[in-house]
Chains A and B, each alone.
Chain A
Amino acid sequence: MLTDTRPAAPAAPRGRRPRRRTVVALLATLAVLAPVAWFWAASLPAGSWSVTEMGVPDDGGGPAGMAGHDMAGMAGRSVDTLRLPAETPADARITLTARADGSRYTLNGQTPGPEIRAVAGQVVEVRLVNADVARGITLHWHGLDVPNGDDGVAGVTQDAVLPGGEFVYRFRATQVGTYWYHSHQVADEQVKGGLFGSLVVVPPEGVGPEATALVHLFGGRRTVNGTPGDLAVPAAPGQTVRVRLTNTDDGPMRAWSAAPYRVLAVDGTEVNGPTPVSGAAVGITAGGRVDLEVTAPARIELGGAAVVVGGGGAPSSVPAASVDLLSYGTPAPLRFDPTTPNRIFDYAIGRRPGFIGGVPGLYWTINGRMYPDVPMYEVREGDVVRMRISNSSGEVHPMHLHGHHAVVLARDGVPSTGSPWWIDSLDVPDGATFDIAFVADNPGIWMDHCHNLTHPKQGLVAHLMYEGVTTPYRAGPDTPNDPE
């Protein structure tokens, strides 16, 4: 091509040569543009799609051949049937009414929404009413392994609740611990704007002194329960207080205290044998929770905000060290055997330029492919599943699997030596590899995505699908549903 243009062109008479050169130039243009145009055209979204038709089926080495994958809605149980029986009486009822208030959202007039508290075993009924949120809303119970039909993912387990509409969620709160709820319709914008709240399940015998701290950035300022600055928790000197910290933002945060503290729980699950920590911070990934125990007076720093227990404690700067949950606490037997999995999956996160929905950009890849060619992890009820999550994308990703809790077996090949580390939201830094395992014990179609809520829009979302489960719901521009 270079030699073609080199000859002393200006002197050449008009004739065959320039015409041939024009043809060569046009062909070269085509050669450059055709692949780009092809990738662009291939990325244009359909008007609507069912999640069951999406992605690259991955059976993880287990029994394959899931009839129904290509025949969405034709066979199998609908997610609508995966709910509590309608006749199950509710023990606790609440109505949450959502409104748009500028760029913020309120639930029952407040941001964040009211805390939902339940006693373990209670059936909770939440009636979600949309007063005027134009694009619609849903509620997802982050960390609670509810039945699939109540998972609250627009376009997967329900249609978005449009203005004037309502949806009744019902689930049995069986897991004691710290959870939260948030919208899973236009989730990035709505969670940033405050459409979330705290959800706490307490044991029947009750709990001691405690406080909830939902941490969120509004207008660049770190707030606790919606208020900038410090959260004061009254406590008598010497009293121990459990502080439930929830990171509702899109990136990992750290919490620390000058006084020793213990990490009582991670993602709602109690740590076995928590030891006092001093001189180290504990990381909380986006969407993740930790319960810390401090002795009053104490001050838990959150970076630009704090929880002040019993009025005391001097501000302290962030320690360089971090609590390593891989070795924190004492080991305990697991309730299943992860050494003999039925299925082994890879969830390798990368990044490259390309098109999604016709828009060029730098996008995330899963197992080397870009959305919508992301894996569809197929399981059967009762399977023991292992998953290796690795990240070579240059950025940290808080990976969140709906409907299940997984235990961390190893990080970068180093086995866990501490308390069983159960997660629903896992911080996966660049360059890290985690081996996790879980039991497929909650049939449905479950999102398995990054909880940096800008990232699912950029393709970092996959699904875990049980054999024989289908959904009548669809997402896409022709529907109201946009779960990301």
Chain B
Amino acid sequence: MRAVYRVLAYLLALEVVVQAAAIAWAVFGLTTWIEGGGVLDKAGMESESVVFDGVTGFMVHGMNGTLIVPIFGLLFLISSFFARFPGAIAWAGAAFGLVVIQVALGIFAHSIPALGMLHGALALGLLVVALVAARKASVATAAASEPASTGSHAAPLV
């Protein structure tokens, strides 16, 4: 289960990277498209018929952020119950909490755009937490397997 924990932690970290990449692609694509004469208003945003290089970035960011990342976060939290190493639940809980906050910011930043800065900054926090959790799982796995690898030629402890 620790391996599952580690894989989910890395997947969460990877998702942060994907989210950052997707939204940057989308914003550059949008500005480039507008520079080229494209006109965007709310009607256009909603029409699903506005197409430019990067429009997929918006869709990826939205679908990922509201669906896939929360599912990974939930699975990560559940895997932590079975991971059995010190801090497993704490790190997964922190990651899950950050995911919840990120989704909430993704909603409320539409009302208060400045919250978007927090959304971007906390993403890096989630990245770090996910990577630390993954490392902790690796270390715990290595530590757990050590007694076995020492084998019979190791001096008895007692």
Q: Which residues of A contact B (CB under 8 A)?
A: 1-2, 5-6, 9-10, 21-22, 24-26, 28-29, 32-33, 36, 192, 215, 217-220, 222, 247, 249-254, 286, 303-304, 351-353, 360-362, 392, 394-396, 430-431, 452, 454
Contact (Cβ within 8 A) B48 A392:
no
B41–A251 touching, CB < 8 Å: yes
Q: How many residues of B contact A (CB 8 A)?
A: 37
Q: Is the CB of A394 within 8 A of B110?
A: yes
Alpha-carbon gap, A247 to B42, bound state (A):
12
Q: Are the CB atoms of B43 and A249 closer together than 8 Å?
A: yes
Most chain-A Cβ atoms within 10 A of its Cβ — which of B51, B70, B84?
Answer: B84
Residues facing A in B66-110 (CB within 8 A) are 66-67, 70-71, 74, 77-78, 81-82, 84-86, 88-90, 103, 107-108, 110
Task: Give A247 to B77 CA distance when docked, in angstroms.
Answer: 47
> Roughly how many angstroms separate A209 CA and B52 CA in the complex, as a whole number?
39
**17 residue pairs from A and B, CB less than 8 Å apart:** A1-B89, A2-B89, A5-B89, A9-B85, A25-B81, A28-B78, A32-B74, A220-B51, A253-B43, A304-B39, A353-B66, A360-B67, A394-B108, A394-B110, A394-B111, A430-B110, A430-B111
Provide the residues of chain B in CB contact with A22, threshold 8 Å.
82
Kindly identify, within residues 28 to 74 of chain B, every residue whose CB is under 8 Å from any CB belonging to chain A. 38-39, 41-52, 66-67, 70-71, 74
Q: Which residue of A lies closest to B47 (CB)?
A: A217
**Are A220's CB and B74's CB within 8 A?**
no
Q: Is the CB of A10 within 8 A of B78?
A: no
The listed residue (A33, A220, A247, A361) touching B50 by CB distance below 8 A is A220
Q: Is B143 an interface residue (CB 8 A)?
A: yes
Bound-state CA distance A461–B38 (Å) is 32
- Contacts known (A247-B43, A252-B41, A286-B43); A362 close to B107, Cβ less than 8 A: yes
Contact partners of A254 in chain B: CB under 8 A: 41
Q: Is there a chain A Cβ closer than 8 Å to B144's Cβ? A: yes
Main secondary structure of the interface of A (DSSP, over half): mixed
Contact status B78-A192, CB under 8 Å: no
Q: Which residues of A contact B48 (CB under 8 A)?
A: 192, 454
* Given known contacts A192-B47, A353-B66, A28 and B81 CB-to-CB distance under 8 angstroms: yes
B residues in contact with A251, CB < 8 Å = 41-47
16 other contacts beyond A5-B88, A251-B45, A303-B39, with CB at 8 A cut-off?
A2-B89, A10-B144, A26-B81, A29-B81, A192-B47, A217-B43, A218-B49, A220-B38, A222-B43, A251-B44, A251-B47, A303-B41, A362-B103, A394-B111, A395-B110, A396-B42
Q: Inside 8 A of B74's CB, which chain A residues have their CB? A: 32, 36
By the criterion CB–CB under 8 Å, are A250 and B47 in contact?
Answer: yes
Complex-state Cα separation, A424 to B108, whole angstroms: 29
Task: Give the residue name and chain of the A residue nearest to B65 (CB).
Answer: A362
**Residue contact A431 to B43, C-beta cutoff 8 Å:** no
Which B-chain residue is minimally distant from A392 (CB atoms)? B111
Whole-angstrom distance between the alpha carbons of A220 and B84 in the complex?
A: 53
Q: How far, in whole Å, are A452 and B90 apart by their CA atoms in the complex? A: 42
Bound-state CA distance A360–B63 (Å) is 11
Q: How far is the CB of A385 from chain B (nearest CB, A)?
A: 29
- Cβ distance A237 to chain B, nearest Cβ, rounded Å: 29
Q: Are A361 and B67 neighbours in the complex by a CB distance under 8 Å?
A: yes
Nearest chain-A residue to B108 (Cβ)? A394
> Which of B42, B46, B88, B107 contacts A454 (CB under 8 A)?
B46
CB distance from A72 to the nearest CB of B (A): 33
Within the complex, the shortest CB–CB distance from B142 to chain A, in Å, comes to 12
Task: Name the residue on B nearest A188 (C-beta).
Answer: B48
Cα-based distance from A293 to B50 in the complex (angstroms):
30
> Which chain A residue has the least Cβ–Cβ distance from B82?
A25
Please measure, in the bound complex, the distance between the C-alpha atom of A398 and the C-alpha atom of B57, giving whole angstroms: 26
Contact in complex: A252, B43 (CB < 8 Å): yes
> Are B51's CB and A219's CB within 8 A?
yes
Q: A residues within 8 A CB of B46?
A: 249-251, 286, 452, 454
Taken together as a complex, chains A and B put the C-alpha atoms of A247 and B41 apart, in Å, by 12
Which A residue sits closest to B52, measured CB to CB? A220
